[in-house]
Structure 1
Amino acid sequence: MPEQRPDETGPVGERRVQGRPAVPPSRPRQTPPPAQQPVHHRTEQIDLRAGFPPVRNETTEIDLSQGLPAGLPLPPRRSRQGRRLGLDVGTVRIGVALSDPTGTLASPLETVERRRDGGDLDRIAALVEEHEVTEVIVGEPRHLSGASGASAREARAYSRSLAGRIGSVPVHLVDERLSTVTAAGSLRANGLDSRAQRPVIDQAAAVVILQAYLDAQRGRS
């Protein structure tokens, strides 16, 4: 029987293995945290055996007779895209001008002869459809004082008749007190005899009317 040495025995009389450290004491086992209880949301039962319940769409009336309510946010105004048609309405001829698709530059288009059977209205309505015009601008001739005369009344009546032919395309009246004078001066500056170029003057006057409207719209936007 081999001799045992006191230094080779452990604290409880167990024999230690030579060259190996003593086994460390075990750590206490940690208790896992309790599982979270599920959250229950209260629901209501709906009996659909008789079909879906009726849906009520209620609206509130807002009185706008005194203007828009204070503090009401409005979306930014967007410029209307598309070609515009400008008209210089005379008793014998109508000068017609057309803008580019972006509504920036007006150019002369043609001169339409006035007809008692309304053929001139048919021609202008055809131009609106052909060029996909989004707005028609009619010059309203006024006196220098701003008062309306027979020519202004004639332009307003023509605008109403045209509006009945072109459906949803809006027709606008704009002040054109000096459009013909401006057009004649421009023609003279380019070496053209205004008296021999009456149809050209009508178109040039329509260009002045339409360009003034386009410039004003860009300034507002």
Structure 2
Amino acid sequence: MPILPLAELRAGLPRGARLIGVDPGARTIGLALSDVTLTLASPYGSLARGKLGAAAAELAAIARKEGAGGLVVGLPLSMDGSFGPAAQAAKDFGRALADAAGLPVAFWDERLSTAAVQRAMIEADMTRAKRAKAVDAAAAAYMLQAALDATAG
């Protein structure tokens, strides 16, 4: 499947199609889902980071169920904006996931998204156990919301 600039991916979606935000972590993959107007991102859940085929199959099933037409994968650039090993790993994973799930993909800078979400959860006095369960999907929503806001037109 093609890798597209986000604006091009968004413009090419069929009317009413959603986007899935993907935050690939070391142990889990955070997922978020946009609304059909591509205005609001919401946490959706997370997948265990295991075999690529299994994650892609689950993602494809979610896309069918929710009417998603593309993926926005978080790209963890270095703090100076450079493209390091973590960003390359996320890009390789996102490309393979998109190919296996049959969905076009765009990448979006997700520096500090997890840290920002963790900080907000701590300020909300959320317990460590609850934060651990919710942080991956919330970080994916944070990243997807930034992408939607940047391409709103």
Superposition TM-score tier, normalisation by shorter sequence: 0.7 to 0.9
Q: Which has the higher strand share?
A: 2
Q: Is the counterpart of residue 154 in structure 1 residue 89 in structure 2?
A: yes
- Counterpart of 1:182 in structure 2 is 116
Q: CA deviation at 1:92?
A: 0.6
Deviation, structure 1 residue 119: 1.2
SS in 2 for 1:108: strand
Give TM-score, length-normalised by structure 1. 0.60
Contact 1:194 1:201 (8 Å CA) reproduced: no
Q: How does 1:133-172 map to 2 (within 5 A)?
A: 133-167=68-102, 169-172=103-106
Moved more, 97-106 or 190-199: 190-199
- Partner amino acid for 1:86? G
Correspondence for 1:127: 62
Q: Residue deviations 1:98-132, cap 9 Å, x none?
A: 11111111111111001136312211121111111
Unaligned runs of 5+ in 2: 1-10
Q: List gaps (5 residues or longer) in structure 1.
A: 1-77
Alignment coverage as a number of residue pairs: 142
Deviations 1:125-169 (A, max 9, x none): 2111111102210000011101122221111111111121232x3
Structure-to-structure mapping, 1:30-41, within 5 angstroms:
none
Does the Cα contact within 8 Å between 2:118 and 2:131 map onto a contact in 1? Answer: no
Q: Over the residues paired in the alignment, what is the CA RMSD in angstroms?
A: 2.0
Does structure 2 retain, via aligned residues, the 8 Å contact 1:135–1:171? Answer: yes
Percent identity over the alignment? 35
Amino acid across the alignment from 2:29: I
- Between 1 and 2, higher relative CO (CA 8 Å, sep ≥ 6) is seen in 2
Q: What TM-score does the superposition give when structure 2 sets the normalisation length?
A: 0.84
Aligned to 1:56: none
- In the alignment, the residues of structure 2 paired with residue 79 and residue 166 of structure 1 have an alpha-carbon distance, to the nearest angstrom, of 18
Structure 1 residue ranges, 4+ long, deviating more than 6 angstroms after superposition: none
Does residue 206 in structure 1 map to residue 140 in structure 2? yes
**Structure 2 residue 40 is matched with structure 1 residue 105:** yes
Greater Cα radius of gyration, structure 1 or 2: 1
More helix by share: 2
